[in-house]
Amino acid sequence: METTTKKAALKGGEWLIKESDAQDVFIPEQFDEEQRMIAKSCEDFIAANVAGRLDEIDYQKTEGLMPELVKKAGEQGLLGVSIPEEYGGFGKDFATGMLLTEATGGGHSFSVAMLAHTGIGTLPILYYGNEEQKAKYIPKLASGEWISAYALTEPGAGSDANSGKTRAALSPDGKKYIINGQKMWITNAGFADVFIVFAKIDTDKNLSAFIIERNYNGVTFAAEEKKMGIKGSSTRQVFFNNTEVPVENLLSTRENGFKIAVNILNIGRIKLAAGAVGSSKLVVSNAAKYANEREQFGKPISTFGAIRYKLAEMATRLYASESALYRATQDIENAIEDLIAGGMETGKAKLKGTEMYAVECAIMKVHGSEMLAYCVDEGVQVYGGMGYSAEAPMDRAYRDARINRIFEGTNEINRMLTVDTMLKKAMKGELDLMGPAMKVAGELMAIPDFGGEDDTLFAAEKKYIKNFKKAALMVAGSAAQKLMMELAKEQEVLMNIADIMIEVYVAESVLLRTEKLVSLQGEAACTERLDMMRVYINDAADRINIAGKNAINSYTSGDEQRMMLMGLKRFTKVNPFNTKEARRRVAARIVDANKYPF
């Protein structure tokens, strides 16, 4: 992979208070040939083994088909790309693993099974297991000989995972833990050989984690759940009735299970965004092909402005989400490399590096899943009546996409997590939010700067992003100061603030990617990318304005309210821009390519 000259990287969340240089960010156009070949091998595997069998997979017509496919993927090396070589993998970096995850995105239920296995099913052992545990389990998981599952959720413990009632007690001889409890919504439960199971030992306040094999006594399963989408993935309840687990299968230390769950979910969140990007590329490509084939009023529907708007808007949101995804990915990769260089063990460095960017992981989970939701919804609309038919691909895409706003913590939880993590960083002194927020508050009382306009290519957009950050700091700072301890209870306000932060991060990311692309390829080669960047930032201004108004109006009044609303209007002001013509140019490129071409 191409690299840039490294300088002090921004810490997680620092993008809100500092400027980034386009040359310091990684963009997906920089993936090298080897990385692209790895991704292509995954796409080829799905095309050859999955794409033609989607109905068979969804209706679970052939017993053992899904585990057979996962094992076959393992035989071709797709399960071990990020596994160290000493455990039978290829030892590739975090960014390569993310690109592979994107390539898996078009596999529908198969993608869910494979990513649950390689992610939340394998990583707890890889990152938290001792040498004996890793030597016993990881090579088999990397090859696909064994398939894994992750058992955290319970009937009464979803978002509040630490409230689970599954219990473990040490046997009288001290050699085994006796586990009793129930887990639900467990992906791969129908065929997994190994389960990462979370339970509280005795009266502990926090969870512990255990490695439980399928053939242990007292492990039983309910029937397959009937689901709205991802019908081909196995989802069952798992019961533990006096299940005896060797003490050496305690993962990490006692009561460290909740930390394991949180840290593994950080990785799961950003990987979910990568899968959403891959899925969306397929959706946009299918919509473009259908729009070119379907004729009405004597010509293809791809010639009509209403359809072209949809294709362009899908592509714009996708391009923006992808820009932010790989910006965050490389930040995590750089942090991991720095930690390893400082002497930290590789597994711990990967966890710590991801934890440092927990805010960005949560942002990408929300934005990626909601971007995909938009794409599949509009994809159905492009297909019209055929979009509602199970004979066309949008039916499955629409249903399968819905789970992504629930998986890996609901989007509501992730929005609140975004703000909460930022504020905690500030309280710990890791992030100086108060200083910049106070500066913005002072700016509200000052006369606006009407200095001369900079007419360089990206000057206007850079000014917009700088002002968007001021809007975020103004709203978040005033809410924290005004509501103080009550802010945690004001979930609507928290979600308003999160929406502003998400838009700021993604808008800045799409600007940085496009600026770097222009520096590499020239302005003429990036016409449609410049259009998508400008459309996204133009619309982000409105979205920030609406979220800011809703927040300000809910906790202020009188002169304070008027002043803040005037400030918000100033910070979200953008110059007039013809988005219609910009979208038409983007759509024309998609229609000519007959696919998503960016």
Residues 211 and 128 in one domain: yes
493: CATH: 1.20.140.10
Q: Which of 370, 408, 461, 528 is catalytic?
A: 408
- Which of 198, 224, 255 is a domain's end point? 255
Judgement on whether residues 358 and 311 belong to the same structural domain of the protein: yes
Domain assignment of residue 143, yes or no: yes
* Alpha carbon separation from 404 to 324, 334, 366, 492, 495 (Å, rounded): 18, 27, 9, 21, 18
Residue 128 lies in a domain: yes
- What torsion, rounded to 10 degrees, do the Cα atoms 307, 312, 317, 319 define? 140
Is 343 inside any structural domain?
A: yes
Same domain as 271, residue 251: no
Alpha-carbon distance of 486 to 395, in angstroms, equals: 43
Residue 408 annotated to the active site: yes
pLDDT reported for residue 419: 96
- How far apart CA 389 and CA 376 sit, in angstroms, is 14
Distance between CA atoms of residues 502 and 576, nearest Å: 23
**pLDDT given at position 445:** 79
**Domain identity same for 117 and 235:** yes
The answer to whether 57 and 292 are in contact (CB under 8 A) is: no
Nearest Cα neighbor of 473 from 551, 587, 542, 562 is 551
Look-up of token digits 């399963």: 221
> Based on the domain organization, do 431 and 409 belong to the same domain?
no
Are 282 and 243 part of one and the same domain?
no
**Both tokens of residue 262?**
């949180």
pLDDT at residue 7, as a whole number: 56
Q: Where are the beta strands (DSSP E) in 495-581?
A: none
Q: Is 574 inside a domain boundary?
A: yes
Say if residue 384 is in the same domain as residue 466.
no
Residue 8's pLDDT is 61
Mapped to the 3 state alphabet, what secondary structure does 402-414 carry?
HHHHCCCCCHHHH
One domain for residues 196 and 231: yes
In terms of residue numbers, what domain contains 284? 258-413
CB-CB neighbours of 62 under 10 Å: 11
CA distance 273 to 399: 17
The amino acid at 186: I
Per-residue tokens: 406: 């629930």
Residue 192 within a domain: yes
What's the burial of 337, exposed, middle or buried (CB within 10 Å: 0-12/13-18/19+)?
Answer: middle
Return phi, psi of residue 243, to 5°. Answer: -75, 125
Residue 330 and residue 9: Cα distance in Å, rounded?
Answer: 10
What is the domain count for the chain? 3
Query: Is residue 21 in some structural domain?
Result: no
Report which secondary-structure segment, H or E, holds 394.
Answer: helix 393-401
- The three-state (H, E, C) secondary structure of 272-331, written as one string: HHHHHHHHHHHHHHHHHHHHHHCEECCEEHHHCHHHHHHHHHHHHHHHHHHHHHHHHHHH
250 and 267 co-located in one domain? no
224 burial level (CB within 10 Å; 0-12, 13-18, 19+): middle
Q: Does 493 share its domain with 557?
A: yes
Is residue 383 a part of any domain in this protein?
yes
- Per the listing, tokens 């700088």 go with 466
pTM here is 0.95
398 and 386 both lie in a single domain = yes
* Numbers of helices and strands, H then E, in the chain: 19, 10
Measured CA to CA, the distance from residue 50 to residue 37 in angstroms comes to 19
pLDDT, one tens digit for every residue, the chain (598 residues): 444 445 567 899 999 999 999 999 999 999 999 999 999 999 999 999 999 999 999 998 899 999 999 999 999 999 999 999 999 999 999 999 999 999 999 999 999 999 999 999 999 999 999 999 999 999 999 999 999 999 999 998 888 888 899 999 999 999 999 999 999 999 999 999 999 999 999 999 999 999 999 999 999 999 999 999 999 999 999 999 999 999 999 999 999 999 999 999 999 999 999 999 999 999 999 999 999 999 999 999 999 999 999 999 999 999 999 999 999 999 999 999 999 999 999 888 999 999 999 999 999 999 999 999 999 999 999 999 999 999 999 999 999 999 999 999 999 999 999 999 999 999 899 999 989 999 998 888 777 666 666 789 999 999 999 999 999 999 999 999 999 889 999 999 999 999 999 999 999 999 999 999 999 999 999 999 999 999 999 999 999 999 999 999 999 999 999 999 999 999 999 999 999 999 999 999 999 999 999 9
CB 331 within 8 A of CB 337: no
What single-letter DSSP state applies at residue 77? T
CATH number, residue 63: 2.40.110.10
Looking at the domain assignment, is residue 525 inside a domain? Answer: yes
For residues 37 and 103, membership in a common domain is answered with: yes
Rounded-to-integer distance, Cα 302 and Cα 81, Å: 39
Quick one: pLDDT at residue 5? 46
